[in-house]
A and B are shown apart, each in its own frame.
Chain A
Amino acid sequence: MNAALKNLVNQPYKHGFVTDIESEVTPKGLSEDVIRMISSKKNEPEWLLEFRLTSYRAWLKMTEPEWQNCHHRKIDYQAISYYAAPKIKAKLNSIDEVDPELLRTFEKLGVPLHERMAMAGVAVDVIFDSVSVATTYKKKLAEVGVIFCSMSEAVLEHPELVKQYLGTVVPTSDNFYAALNSAVFTDGSFCFIPKGVKCPMDLSTYFRINTEESGQFERTLIIAEDGASVSYLEGCTAPAFSSNQLHAAVVELVALDNADIKYSTVQNWYAGDENGVGGIYNFVTKRGLAKGINSRISWTQVETGAAITWKYPSVVLLGDGSIGEFYSVAVTNNYQQADTGTKMIHIGKNTRSTIVSKGISAGKSNNSYRGLVKIASSATNARNYSQCDSMLVGEECGANTFPYIQVLNNSAQVEHEASTSRIGEDQMFYFAQRGVDAEAAVSMIINGFCKDVFQQLPLEFAVEATNLLSFKLEGSVG
């Protein structure tokens, strides 16, 4: 059994290749001049430059958070390049004008950009290092009034919408990484679903970091007006470098009356090698504002990659009767560290939130769930249900649960359940005694453990997530 397991462990990260493409990378370092340069490269309006500079000045006074259960070398923010973009001749009129090397890159990653080859029923915006290179199905979406484009494009073509909502859910000085992002963000996706429209297809963004010494700071903004609904998917990969790349994204969601936003992520950044060398530092701020009555925001995440994950997709339940959901599977192997969870802030009356978190630790990794459930004094009859389960694979990994509960209204009902289990020799032996090999056994055990989360994912993503997990954990038992 052991030899077979070893072979499985040594399977390489299959997205670890580098695309050889001529890129424009700005010199390393961060200053007001760099920010002005980024802003001018993108032909941004003055108000946005001000937004960036205000954020930068706030950031200078802030320090990195240290409360998380992760350890890493100090990041030298002057050693990062804040803008890297493949050289593109002029404005592209169609997908056919995209550099063939880039098209090949995304095809290799399973995200073909030609609409005739693209995933049926999913519109994709692809971000390569700092810029969006293509968005599919744009015209079809425009017919029903849905705006789906890169953030840079939205700034130029729909400035009023961007200005109205940008920074309203995650304020520029919210935290160290959000402030940094607000100062230097380069691209991301923008989605606007107008009143009463159910978005006819899933929207998706695929993020790819390609340049070794650049950071990726994307900014995504999704707005669903009254009665609108949308399902949004996010995927990410990066080449295998021996250095660490910083990824500090901000995602803001706004749901107005009766609107419904479902945001699903399958995160597969390069996690570093088996000795913990290299990998992405993933410091992400994701927050949704369930602003309108009976609005609903649902986060589903499958976090398998990155050397460090620091991420708490949250919902502010402002509208009466609004619903917040968080379904998470976080898998760590080798020397990965994850400190992830959610915040559910209940402000409106009759608000409800559900948290289902499944942490799987293998190798020498460390996996922490950190969550806050806050019931404000105004939130009469608020309800929360939290379930946090950890599974340990092997003997050298760790799992922690840090639930914080603050209740200021005594009509609230808050439930928290937690469990820890281990895939051990005896479980594997049971499967083996029935003729089932280790690979199929681990896959079945893990999928059973994650079932409550996987069934929240859109179908294509559920299949991908299942494969990704089996792939990632194969060989860690034995």
Chain B
Amino acid sequence: MIYADSKVLLEVRGLCASVNGIEILKNLDFTVRSGEVHAIMGQNGSGKSTFAKVLAGHPSYEITSGSVRFEGKDLLALTAEDRARAGFFLAFQYPIEVPGVGNSQFLRLTYNTLQKQRGHEELDPLEFDDFVREKMKLLEMSPDFLDRSVNEGFSGGEKKRNEILQMALLEPHLAILDETDSGLDIDALRIVAHGVNQLTTKNNAMVMVTHYQRLLNYIVPDYVHVMEAGRIVKTGDKSLALELETRGYDWVSTDTQVAASVSA
């Protein structure tokens, strides 16, 4: 939701980033205020996932220029773990498996790490168990999830739910959901979207990276951005997503080129 008095959470200016010497993000600008829901769409290879990973501090990417401020702090100066501790969350497109490590043990470690950071009390295993079970209801997850190894043998949909569960536990100020809808059947999509909607407040913000308009029927964005060749080339409201669904992406680039040549 767009609020009149909301503060700027994330401000990306002129961001350029490359991997192995190949420039992926090219002069990207992007602003998110608290309370807002954004969707970033675009074709494969347009740089959407790279943008999400760069913001989260993935070590493979080199920032060549630009700035990112997160709640006024220089995000790029922070390590990946400090970004997370500052309230930045990335729901992974491909969550990793950790064999032998119980999911509840992992969830508790991450939860307590953030609690400590925020000066709140850490929970012992029993207290945490009650707490996490309550959160799991939100995502209609069976308690069996707690006893299994982290993401090991989880179906695609189970992995994504486990990501949103972590988001529910960690209460980030800004969450980027990287293709959270991919690999979900319609029921799972509805459950995950419901969970995300429950977690959205006036004080946080969500950015969804997606290929499909489908997700946006359930999580209605305030802004839809189209990314192409490493930058945002068009921004609109939710109707833009519907237009992309019917017309594809090509018209956007043609429009942009026309606009660019006119302004030149």
Contact = CB atoms under 8 A, between A and B. Distances in A.
A431 B57 CA distance: 12
A450 B95 contact: no
A449 B81 contact: no
A250 to B, nearest CB: 34
Interface string B104-132: 01100110011001000000000000000
Nearest to A4: B79
B149 A425 contact: no
Q: How large is the interface on A (under 10, 10 to 19, 20 to 34, 35 or more residues)?
A: 20 to 34
Interface string A424-464: 01110111111111001000110111111000000000000
A429 B84 contact: no
B100 A450 contact: yes
Contact of B84 (A433, A445, A447): A433
A434 B98 contact: no
Given A1-B80, A448-B149, A450-B100, A435 B95 contact: no
A434 B90 CA distance: 9
B213 interface: no
Tell me which of A432, A435, A437, A447 has the highest count of chain B C-beta atoms within 10 A of its own C-beta: A435
Contacts of A421: 99
B81 A427 contact: no
A436 B81 contact: yes
Interface residues of B, number: 31
Interface in B37-81: 56-60, 79-81
B101 A437 contact: no
B80 A429 contact: yes
A448 B166 CA distance: 20
B206 interface: no
A444 B113 contact: no
A433 B100 contact: no
Contact of B101 (A426, A434, A445, A452): A445
Contacts of B89: 433
B98 A427 contact: yes
Going nearest first, the 10 A-B pairs with the smallest beta carbon separation are A448-B100, A448-B101, A432-B80, A435-B84, A434-B110, A451-B100, A435-B113, A432-B81, A435-B85, A430-B96
Interface of A: 1, 421, 425-427, 429-437, 440, 444-445, 447-452
7 contacts: A1-B81, A435-B114, A444-B101, A444-B106, A449-B99, A451-B100, A452-B100
Interface of B: 56-60, 79-81, 83-85, 89-90, 92, 95-96, 98-101, 105-106, 109-110, 113-114, 117, 149-150, 166, 170
Given A429-B57, A434-B170, A436-B109, 17 more contacts: A1-B79, A421-B99, A429-B56, A430-B92, A433-B89, A434-B110, A434-B113, A435-B84, A435-B85, A435-B117, A436-B113, A440-B113, A444-B98, A444-B106, A445-B101, A448-B150, A452-B100
